[in-house]
Structure 1
Amino acid sequence: MDYTHLGRSGLTVSRLCLGTMNFGWKTEEADSHEIMDRALAEGINFFDTANVYGFDAGKGRTEEVLGTWFAQGGERRDKVVLATKVYGGMSDWPNDTFLSARNIVRACEASLRRMQTDWIDLYQFHHVDLRTPWEEIWQACETLVAQGKVLYVGSSNHAAWQLAAANEAAARRHFVGLVSEQSHYNLLTRHVELEVLPAAQHYGIGIIPWSPLAGGLLAGVLEKTEGGRRNEERTQARIEEHRPALEQYEAFCRELGAAPADVGVAWLLHQPAVTAPIVGPRTMEQLEGGLRALDVTLTDDQLARLDAIFPGYKAAPMEYAW
């Protein structure tokens, strides 16, 4: 396993991040524990979750599954860089959502209880809250950091100007600010290349891509469909929208001798702003597939081929101005 720093921080994380969104509702607790044990044994020390994960089994359920895993001991908690998120509503009451100081502090305490831990390594804003000033958000985070409940703070789904506003506000308070940003980023979805990635590199913010395989479209979906796999109507519509590019992509992967899913994750690992793509397995087999991406090395010519199949963006304003 290769490791890197999380953004400009001194925190060392694995180049793959284990996404736990499926745990506790799509993946049974015992199977989830086995996947986390295997991930840790393979050197993945970066685990990501959110307080709202659990969905059909109830919000908070995924954090509870992590908590019962940590409770087994064996230095599990000490070895893991634990990331969770705050923003989504945990009840119908108005103050149990968004990024007020009240919700940030109370949601953090609730996450700590569910995960049976004393601290969160990376506490992330799951979405931007345009109605709460950064001064209030940072005040709450400073309190949690001073109490030792949170060590680092990150964001998710933020625009470039919001990253800038956040870190400039933090700097005025002599606070570290954001060290990471989770963004929707893959070969099919490259909008963050316009401004988010340049802003992140400027401020020393590590990019953690979610949905690295575009919801399965980059995992060899055409071959699986031809083999008789049924697709939901929405998924089939997306396949047809991108079919010409996907056909070229899967042919390229066959030529390379690598699975499409491995190439999709490997491409992200070759992007300079990226810290660690999130792989969110439902099964042990899917985790093993994600690990194979670490063995795929792409040459400059091969990266150029992928750019030709899935055109990206120049950094703004070069994309649209002389």
Structure 2
Amino acid sequence: MQYTQLGRTGATVSRLVLGTMNFGPHTAEEDAFAIMDRALDAGVTFFDTANGYGGTDRRGWTEEIIGRWLASRGRREEIVLATKVFGEMGPGKNDRGLSALNIRRAVDASLRRLQTDHIDLYQMHHVDRSAPWEEIWQAMDLLVAQGKISYVGSSNFAGWHLAQASETARARHSLGLVSEQSLYNLLTRDIELEVLPAAEHYGMGVIAWSPLAGGNLGGRSSTGVRRRNSGGGSGSDARSAQLDRWEAFCAERALAPGQAALAWLLHRPGVLGPIIGPRTIDQLDSAIGAVDVALSEDDLAALDEIFPGPGGPAPEAYAW
């Protein structure tokens, strides 16, 4: 396994992040326990979840599964545990968002479900345009002081939001955001415009979610069928041709497409690592193999030709 720092902090985390969104709705609890056991034994120490995971009718289910695993294994201090706050958790008007009121309630509920007394990385799952940053940081700073959380991260923020949050925290002499979790893969490279440069400027580690683009980058099944529809619309033929080139690239180098897609992210500057979301042990084992995949400069250049990025950071990418 490879390890790095959690942004500009002194905390060490594995470069593969175990995503748990499937636990409950798609992966039975017994299988989820086996996946977490195998992941930790393989050196994956960074576990990511969210208070809303579990499905519309059972929000919090995934945290409950992780909590029972933590209680049964006694290995809490071996992992860096991350969860999120924002999503609607109840019928009340204040059961969602980033108000100080909801943050206080949500963290206590997550701690109960996770059966732990602290969360290592508490992430804002989305921007809350109705909550002032001063209010958010007052609530987060209090949680740090109480020992309920260690660090604060964000998810799905634009570069402008990272700047707003970080500058407000700086004015309060707070540590501020240490990570940003963004949609990032070979097919979706928008964050290279402003999110990656902003994260680098503020010393934040970027965690990539959907690294296989919903399965599009996972290659074909044993029957020769592409694992995920490449999408409809006018660009579907072009996308299919692009994925054909991708699969040929991997075949020429004897690389498993899913591993190669994860490896590409591990080679990207500023990226802490990708989130892997296995539903089975086999999927986990395959993903772990990505840390051993080395891509040369020529390989990376070839991938830029197949999957062109936005052309550099903003504003150079769209201005003279």
TM-score scaled to structure 2, two decimals?
Answer: 0.96
1:59 equivalent to 2:59? Answer yes
1:286 equivalent to 2:279? Answer no
Distance apart, 1:5 and its partner CA: 0.2
- The residue number in structure 2 matching 1:32 is 32
Q: In the alignment, residue 287 of structure 2 is paired with which amino acid?
A: G
Rounded to whole Å, the distance in 2 between the matches of 1:265 and 1:228 is 21
Q: Unmatched 5+ residue regions in structure 1?
A: none
Rounded to whole Å, the distance in 2 between the matches of 1:96 and 1:2 is 38
Instruction: Answer whether contact 2:215 2:227 (CA < 8 A) is retained.
Output: no
1:79 equivalent to 2:84? Answer no
Rounded to whole Å, the distance in 2 between the matches of 1:107 and 1:258 is 43
Q: In the alignment, residue 203 of structure 1 is paired with which amino acid?
A: Y
- The residue number in structure 2 matching 1:16 is 16
- Equivalent pairs counted in the alignment come to 318
Rounded to whole Å, the distance in 1 between the matches of 2:225 and 2:316 is 44
- The residue number in structure 1 matching 2:69 is 69
Distance apart, 1:272 and its partner CA: 1.0
Instruction: Answer whether contact 2:266 2:274 (CA < 8 A) is retained.
Output: yes
Q: In the alignment, residue 107 of structure 2 is paired with which amino acid?
A: C
SS in 2 for 1:208: strand
Rounded to whole Å, the distance in 2 between the matches of 1:55 and 1:49 is 13
- The residue number in structure 2 matching 1:157 is 156
Instruction: Answer whether contact 1:24 1:61 (CA < 8 A) is retained.
Output: yes
Runs of 4+ in structure 1 off by over 4 angstroms are 228-232, 234-241
1:321 equivalent to 2:319? Answer yes
Q: How is 1:217-232 mapped onto 2 (pairs within 5 angstroms)?
A: 217-220=216-219, 223-224=220-221, 227-228=224-225
1:274 equivalent to 2:285? Answer no
Rounded to whole Å, the distance in 2 between the matches of 1:235 and 1:226 is 20
Q: How is 1:1-322 mapped onto 2 (pairs within 5 angstroms)?
A: 1-55=1-55, 58-74=58-74, 76-220=75-219, 223-224=220-221, 227-228=224-225, 235=231, 240=237, 242-313=239-310, 314-322=312-320
Rounded to whole Å, the distance in 2 between the matches of 1:121 and 1:172 is 23
Q: Unmatched 5+ residue regions in structure 2?
A: none
Distance apart, 1:308 and its partner CA: 0.3
Rounded to whole Å, the distance in 1 between the matches of 2:104 and 2:3 is 31
Distance apart, 1:231 and its partner CA: 5.9
SS in 2 for 1:18: strand
Distance apart, 1:228 and its partner CA: 4.9
SS in 2 for 1:78: helix
Distance apart, 1:276 and its partner CA: 1.5
Instruction: Answer whether contact 2:14 2:43 (CA < 8 A) is retained.
Output: yes
Rounded to whole Å, the distance in 2 between the matches of 1:138 and 1:33 is 34
RMSD of aligned Cα (Å): 1.6
Distance apart, 1:235 and its partner CA: 4.7
What is the percentage of aligned positions where both structures have the same residue?
Answer: 59
SS in 1 for 2:273: coil
Rounded to whole Å, the distance in 2 between the matches of 1:110 and 1:154 is 18
Q: In the alignment, residue 134 of structure 1 is paired with which amino acid?
A: W
After superposition, the C-alpha distances for 1:228-285 in whole angstroms (9 at most, x for unaligned) are 57867x8566864511110100000000101100110000000011001000001111
Q: In the alignment, residue 210 of structure 1 is paired with which amino acid?
A: W
Distance apart, 1:2 and its partner CA: 1.1
Rounded to whole Å, the distance in 2 between the matches of 1:40 and 1:236 is 39
SS in 1 for 2:120: strand
Instruction: Answer whether contact 1:217 1:239 (CA < 8 A) is retained.
Output: no
| Greater Cα shift, 95-104 or 48-57 | 48-57
After superposition, the C-alpha distances for 1:108-147 in whole angstroms (9 at most, x for unaligned) are 0000000000000000000001111100000000110000
